[in-house]
Structure 1
Amino acid sequence: MSNNDFQIRTMSRDEIDTAVEWAMLEGWNPGLHDAENYYTADPEGFLVGLINDEPIAVISVVKYDDRFGFLGFYIVKQEYRGQGYGIQIWNAGMQRLQGLNIGLDGVVDQQENYKKSGFKLAYRNIRYQGTGGGNTPQHSAVVV
């Protein structure tokens, strides 16, 4: 498959759920309402890369205002990695956020690549997980 068959466009709201599913398959933990909130903030903030109408790459590049944008959900399907599709959708996303201060919640293994695009490490996140005990509270705002 040549890169000439690769097309990038804005995702529809329904397609954004695909990005969330892919993120979960990568072992990431997107929030339950992230997609809806990001879409509300910027309906054009999600890009999809397609080959013959099949989604193979996604990235979110949400503009919050005329000064700040946030990049995330940068995923290429496993079988298409290393073929140049990722950098194409990355560049399209960076073009969309050109001139803005850009935040990114990056994957540790990709930090050197982020530096090549001008990103600087601001801080590290450390996530902890455990198993609680007792009964689950019965409240409509608690999602188990």
Structure 2
Amino acid sequence: MIQNNNYTIRTMTRPEIDIAIDWAAAEGWNPGLHDADCFHAADPHGFLIGLLGNEPIAVISVVKYGGSFGFLGFYIVKPGFRGQGYGIQIWNAGLAYLGGRDIGLDGVVAQQANYNKSGFTLAYSNVRYQGSGGGEYPAHAGIVPLASMSFADICAYDTPFFPEPRLQFLRCWLNQPGSSALGIRQDGKLAGYGVVRQCRSGYKIGPLFADSAELAEPLLLALKSRVPEGEPLFLDTPAVNRAAVELAQRHQMSISFETARMYRGQSPDLPIERLFGVTSFELG
């Protein structure tokens, strides 16, 4: 706990994570309806709140993964309290919690220069594409409910896409209410998987991982078909993955938002060519 005059920074309780989710929604980030439980499962100590007296005025998430990586998100100061030094205090407390770890974040493009000052460098842009749900998808013998695969196999497939294992998070994320999780098999093995979940507005696909664009496409269409016809559908994809961008464009999805994926310390060597959809801008 950090206390400075009447300003206190401490770890959030689980119900207080709902405050951060609500503030993120107000900022237009469109969180999932059941994200909070899974975010808390990833690191129960990785969410900080700043209170002026008893009033919450600032939040940040600094989730630890394994022994070497952390991801920073939910950096929000309540309107009316911005520009008064409260944000930088909770920012510094968050970085102190992560210690000497490599750190990633998805920041709004306008804040990129500020993140530079704290040692973060741009890796690439992530772009949110918006389309609509529904539609049929061509039958594909390889598509299966992800629950039909062993959790160990799913975690093994997920491992290259993230700098450290994230077992507790995945266990929750793949089984959250109001979601569908599908895998695609090739030669008897998992060759891709995706999750679509209900959000404050419409639905969001994330992650969408596949060994090739030819496998990502039927997986995308199968997930799309799980969404009610005409509902907004979002996919966050690395702009540097040309095949992913073309996939979104081919299915009449258009850009609605962009972030700067930045790292402090070692930038992880991720298989971007197989990363068609980011899991979450808040947790990586």
Q: Same fold (TM over 0.5)?
A: yes
1:25 is matched with: 26
Counterpart secondary structure, 1:123: strand
Deviation at 1:125, TM superposition (A): 1.2
In 1, the alpha carbon distance for the partners of 2:134 and 2:40 equals 36
* Residue in 1 that maps onto 2:41: 40
User: Deviations for 1:53-112, whole angstroms, at most 9, x for unmatched residues?
Assistant: 110000000101110110000000010000000000000000001110101011111000
Question: Identity of aligned pairs, percent?
Answer: 67
Amino acid at match of 1:47: L
Give SS of 1:126's match. Answer: strand
Stretches of structure 2 lacking an aligned partner (at least 5 in a row): 137-177, 181-197, 203-284
Per-residue deviation, 1:32: 3.3
The residue number in structure 1 matching 2:52 is 51
Distance 2:19 2:52 in 1: 16
In the TM superposition, 1:128-139 aligns within 5 A as: 128-131=129-132
TM-score w.r.t. the length of structure 1 is 0.88
Q: Rate the CA distance shift 1:32–1:122 in 2: closer, same or farther, 3 A.
A: farther
Give the letter aligned to residue 11 of structure 1: M
Q: CA deviation at 1:133?
A: 6.8
Secondary structure of residue in 2 paired with 1:56? strand
Aligned to 1:87: 88
Q: Secondary structure at the match of 2:128?
A: coil
Per-residue deviation at 1:5? Answer: 1.1
SS where residue 80 of structure 1 aligns?
coil
Other-structure match for 1:107:
108
Aligned equivalents of 2:88, 2:100: Cα separation in 1? 19
Which residue of the partner structure matches residue 120 of structure 2?
A: 119
Alignment gaps of 5+ in structure 1: none
Letter of the structure 2 residue corresponding to residue 90 of structure 1: W
Structure number with higher strand proportion: 2
For 1:11-37, what per-residue CA distance to the aligned partner results, in whole angstroms no more than 9, with x for missing partners? Answer: 000110110000000011223333212
Structure 1 position 4 matched with structure 2 position 5: yes
The residue identity in structure 1 corresponding to 2:104 is G
Q: Aligned partners of 2:50, 2:179: CA distance in 1, in Å? A: 36
Q: Could you tell me which residue of structure 1 aligns to residue 14 of structure 2? A: 13
TM-score (norm 2): 0.46
State the match for 2:72 in structure 1.
71
Matched AA of 2:74 = F
Partners of 1:33 and 1:103 in 2: how far apart?
A: 23
**Alpha-carbon distance between aligned partners in 2 of 1:65 and 1:32, rounded to the nearest angstrom:** 26
Higher RCO, Cα 8 Å, sep 6+:
2
Residue of structure 2 equivalent to 1:60: 61
RMSD: 1.9
Indicate the larger mover: 121-130 or 9-18. Answer: 121-130
Aligned length: 138
Amino acid aligned to 1:9:
R
